[in-house]
Amino acid sequence: MKKLFGKKKKKQITAKKRYTEVRKCRFCKMTMKGIDYKDILNLQKLTSGQGKLFSRKRSGNCATHQRFAKIAIKRARFMALMPYVG
């Protein structure tokens, strides 16, 4: 019988592949071209309790609809449909 000393196999460390689900923007799902400033229910979902606008990562919007949401929220605040501060 032969004994092998000192020779050990090195384990290769491989990173696990993570499956990330592709999320689609809620406004893209509804096939909306723009966001209306009078639609307060949808606009309130995009703001925090303090009145701050959620980021794209948090709200799940695409870049185009995030810009439209920002403009719509500013218009709704100006028309006193939404508060500036919580």
The highest-level CATH class for domain 26-78 is few secondary structures
Phi and psi angles of residue 11, each rounded to the nearest 5 degrees, phi first: -85, 135
pTM of the model: 0.70
User: Domain extents for the chain?
Assistant: 26-78
One digit per residue, the tens of pLDDT, for the chain of length 86 reads 666 666 666 667 777 777 766 778 888 888 888 899 999 998 999 999 998 999 999 989 999 999 999 999 999 999 999 999 87
What's the rounded Cα separation, in Å, for the pair 51 and 53?
7
pLDDT at 4: 63
Dihedral angle sign, alpha carbons of residues 65, 56, 54, 45: positive
User: What pLDDT is stored for residue 17 in this prediction?
Assistant: 73
